[in-house]
C-alpha cells in the first residue's frame, strides 16, 4: 500500500469534516491508523477558539473545535530544508514545521490569525510490530498566504517526468541482491495503490490520481536513497542523489497542490 503523510491525511479529512463531506469518527480513524491515539498540545500563544468546545487534548476534540470555530478548509505544507515552500511563521513555528517536514494550517475566524498543527512522531516497537506515538502541537501562526503550489493539472504533467526519473533510479538498485526485503518492497511500491482511507469521500478524480502518483514517487525515492545503486564514482552518486532530491521536491509539491485544491476559488460558469 502507498500512503500519504499524516498531515496530508489530516488536511484532506479535516476539510471533509469542516465541509460536512466526512464524519468525525471516520476522519480520526483515517489519520490515526495504527498509531496510538493522537494527542494534542496547545502552545501558550495559541488561544483556544472563542466559541464552541474549549481546548482539547485529542484529535477528535481538535477537529470539533475547528468546526465550532468556523474554520474553513485546512491547508497542507510539506517544508524541507532547501525547499521550504510558504512557511507559516513566526520563526519558532517554521523551525517546528521544518523539523517535522509537514504541517497543517487552519484559518480561525474571530480568533488568532492562523493555527499551525505540527506533528511530533515517536516511533517504537520493531520492524515486525511497529508503533508510533503522535502529538499535534497547535501553534500560533502569522497571517500569511497559502502554501505555494502549482495547479493540480500542472502537477500531473510534472509528475509524469518525475515518475520516469524515479523509476530509472529504482531499476538501478542493487539492494535486492543482498537484502531479503528489497524485492518485496520494490514490488509493493511499483504495484501498490493508495490505502482506501487515504482520502475522504468526494475527492476529485484528478486530485486522487495525482496523490497516488506522488505517493509512488516518494516511496521510490525513499527506497532508492537507501543505496547508491549502479553508481561507481562519487560524482555519479552525488548526481543521482541530486536527481532524487529534485524528484522528491516535485512529488511533495504535487501532494500539496492536490490536497489544497479545495482552497482554490470556484469560478462561476460564463454566461452565454
Alpha helices by DSSP H, 40-151: 59-68, 91-100
Confidence of residue 272 (pLDDT cuts 50, 70, 90): very low
Cell of 236: 555519479
Which pLDDT score, from 0 to 100, does residue 77 have?
92
Q: Residues in the chain, how many?
A: 272
Residue 39, beta-bridge partner list? 58, 135
Give pLDDT, residue 271: 40
C-alpha dist (Å) from residue 200 to 134, 203, 247: 21, 6, 26
216 to 168, 185, 186, 188, 244: CA distances (angstroms)? 13, 12, 11, 10, 13
Residue 151 three-state SS: coil
Taking 80 as the threshold, does the pLDDT of residue 28 lie above it?
yes
Helix H or strand E encompassing 258? helix 234-259
Distance of alpha carbon 139 from alpha carbon 136, whole angstroms: 9
Helices and strands in the chain: count of H runs, count of E runs: 8, 5
SS3 content of the chain, % helix, strand, coil (to 5): 45, 15, 40
Measured from the Cβ of residue 210, the count of other Cβ atoms closer than 10 Å reads: 25
- Stated pTM of the model: 0.84
Grid coordinates of 92: 519558532
Write down the pLDDT at residue 150.
Answer: 65
The confidence score (pLDDT) of residue 180 equals 58
Taking phi over 0 as left and psi of -120 to 50 as alpha, with beta for the rest, 214 belongs to alpha
Nearest by Cα to 209 from 262, 255, 264, 146: 255
Of residues 211, 218, 193, 214, the one with CA closest to residue 261: 211
90-123: per-residue pLDDT in tens? 888 889 999 999 999 988 776 556 889 999 999 9
Average pLDDT across the chain, whole number: 80
Q: In a 3-state reduction of DSSP, which class is residue 38?
A: coil
Q: What percent of the chain has pLDDT over 70?
A: 73
What's the pLDDT at 53? 53
270 pLDDT band, cuts 50/70/90, is: very low
Grid-cell match 524528484, residue found: 247
Compare 234 and 11 and report the one with higher pLDDT. Answer: 11
Please tell me the predicted confidence (pLDDT) of residue 183.
64
**What's the pLDDT at 121?**
95
Question: What is the mean predicted confidence (pLDDT) over 199-224?
Answer: 88
The number of angstroms, rounded, from the C-alpha of 42 to the middle of its chain's C-alpha atoms is 21
253 vs 264, which has greater pLDDT?
Answer: 253
| Region of poorest pLDDT, from 20-24, 96-100, 258-262 | 258-262
3-class SS string, 192-231: CCECCCCCCCCCCHHHHHHHHHHHHHHHHHHHHCCCCCCC
Closest CA to 6 of 120, 98, 83: 120
More confident residue, 132 or 52: 132
Amino acid at each position: 500500500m502507498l500512503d500519504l503523510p499524516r498531515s496530508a491525511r489530516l488536511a484532506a479529512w479535516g476539510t471533509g469534516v469542516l465541509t460536512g463531506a466526512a464524519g468525525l469518527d471516520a476522519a480520526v480513524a483515517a489519520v490515526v491508523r495504527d498509531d496510538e491515539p493522537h494527542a494534542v498540545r496547545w502552545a501558550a500563544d495559541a488561544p483556544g477558539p472563542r466559541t464552541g468546545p474549549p481546548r482539547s487534548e485529542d484529535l477528535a476534540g481538535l477537529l470539533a473545535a475547528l468546526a465550532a470555530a468556523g474554520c474553513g478548509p485546512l491547508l497542507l505544507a510539506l517544508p524541507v530544508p532547501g525547499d521550504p515552500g510558504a512557511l507559516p511563521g513566526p520563526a519558532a513555528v517554521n523551525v517546528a514545521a521544518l523539523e517535522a517536514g509537514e504541517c497543517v494550517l487552519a484559518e480561525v475566524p474571530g480568533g488568532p490569525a492562523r493555527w499551525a498543527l505540527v506533528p511530533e512522531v515517536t516511533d517504537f516497537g520493531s520492524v515486525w510490530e511497529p508503533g508510533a506515538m503522535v502529538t499535534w502541537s497547535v501553534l500560533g501562526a502569522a497571517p500569511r498566504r497559502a502554501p505555494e503550489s502549482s495547479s493540480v493539472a500542472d502537477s500531473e504533467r510534472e509528475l509524469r517526468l518525475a515518475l520516469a526519473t524515479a523509476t530509472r533510479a529504482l531499476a538501478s538498485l542493487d539492494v535486492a541482491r543482498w537484502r531479503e526485503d528489497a524485492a518485496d518492497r520494490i514490488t509493493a511500491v511499483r504495484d501498490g495503490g493508495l490505502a482506501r482511507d487515504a482520502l475522504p469521500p468526494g475527492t476529485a478524480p484528478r486530485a486522487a490520481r495525482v496523490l497516488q502518483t506522488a505517493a509512488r514517487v516518494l516511496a521510490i525515492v525513499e527506497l532508492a536513497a537507501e543505496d547508491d545503486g549502479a553508481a561507481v564514482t562519487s560524482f555519479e552518486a552525488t548526481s543521482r542523489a541530486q536527481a532524487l532530491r529534485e524528484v522528491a521536491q516535485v512529488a511533495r509539491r504535487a501532494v500539496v497542490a492536490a490536497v489544497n485544491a479545495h482552497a482554490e476559488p470556484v469560478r462561476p460558469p460564463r454566461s452565454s
